[in-house]
Structure formats: C-alpha cells, structure tokens
C-alpha cells in the first residue's frame, strides 16, 4: 500500500514556525517516526509552497506519470498512490484549484490540520478542501497525520 502525504505552504517550517501552535518537532523527524510505525506502508512525502505544484502532484498521484505535463518531469519520485493525506496549509482557505484537483482524481484524500482551525481567526473557518475530502482530521497536532493513515487503511 502506498500513501502520499502532501504538505502545503509554510509547513516546511514546522518546528520553527509558531511552535506554540504547531509544535517544536520538524516534519522530517515526525515522518521518520511514522515510517517506523508503518513499515508495511510505503509513505511518500511531498511539500510545496506553490499551489500549481500541489495540483500537479495530485494529478500524478491520481492518474500516474502520464498526467504530469511538465516537460522534464516535475515529480520523478512517484506515481499512482492508494490514498493521500493533505494538509494544504493556507491554500485550504483559498484554493478552488486544489478543490477541483481532488474532485478530478478517484484517490481518497484525507484533509488534515495540525491546529484546531475553528478556534482561530474567522478566515480559517472555511475550507475549500472539506467538501472534496473523504475525511477530515483537525486539531490533534502532528498526530493527525497518523490518524489519517489509520482512517485511510480502513477505506482503501
């Protein structure tokens, strides 16, 4: 089983960015723990601060390499996957393009947010991802990614 975790903008700064909200652990360290916990699952990781790259990666995960329109192959490290865990970061609250990409693929997508966005500013209360997602996990810190994998395991 292959699962792809996609992190959106600013999530490359986990461990350094607002640790009171997002915690002090880097995502790379957390990913090591996750891979050790799920040795039977191939966990791929992709992070981008660029909306279109996230759309491209969703296409590739859903349709394979032939969906990748980049001349030189933007994402050589992966093809079709069984399930996707997506924290789209701030694009959650703005991106119709990511919403449409999730709708375009059949691969189930679990939306994750580290913080409880509903306890925060009003602009974080609306998600363009939620109506397209197979499930949503919010407010459990980094543990939300593990909970999403557990959820995906049951549906794929």
* Enzyme catalytic residues: 22, 113
Query: 4 phi and psi, to 5 degrees?
Result: -110, 125
What is the footprint of ligand DQA within residues 9-38 (CB under 6 A)?
Answer: 10
Q: How far is CA 101 from the centre of its chain?
A: 13
Residue 74 contacts ligand DQA per CB under 6 A:
no
The whole-angstrom separation of Cα 25 and Cα 19 is 8
User: Site for ligand DQA (CB under 6 A): which residue of 89, 107, 133, 148?
Assistant: 89
Q: What is the CA radius of gyration of the chain?
A: 15
Place of tokens 């794929």: 156
Report the nearest approach of ligand DQA to the CB of residue 117 (Å).
Answer: 5
- Give whichever of 85 and 114 is closer to ligand DQA, judged by the CB atom: 114
Residue 48 contacts ligand DQA per CB under 6 A:
no
* DSSP 8-class letter at 103: H
Tell me the β-bridge partners of 95: none
Residue 117 contacts ligand DQA per CB under 6 A:
yes
Which positions touch ligand DQA (CB under 6 A)?
A: 10, 87, 89-90, 92, 113-115, 117, 124
């Amino acid at each position: 089983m292959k699962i792809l975790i996609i992190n959106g903008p600013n999530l490359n700064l986990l461990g350094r960015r607002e640790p009171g909200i997002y915690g002090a652990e880097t995502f790379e360290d957390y990913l090591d723990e996750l891979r050790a916990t799920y040795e039977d699952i191939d966990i791929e990781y992709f992070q981008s601060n660029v909306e279109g790259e996230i759309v491209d990666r969703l296409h590739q995960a859903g349709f394979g390499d032939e969906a990748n329109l980049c001349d030189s192959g933007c994402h050589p490290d992966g093809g079709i996957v069984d399930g996707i865990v997506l924290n789209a970061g701030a694009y959650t609250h703005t991106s119709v393009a990511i919403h449409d990409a999730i709708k375009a693929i059949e691969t189930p997508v679990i939306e994750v947010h580290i913080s409880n966005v509903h306890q925060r500013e009003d602009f974080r209360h609306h998600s363009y991802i939620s109506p397209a997602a197979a499930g949503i996990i919010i407010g459990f810190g980094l543990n939300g990614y593990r909970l999403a994998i557990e959820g995906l395991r049951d549906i794929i």
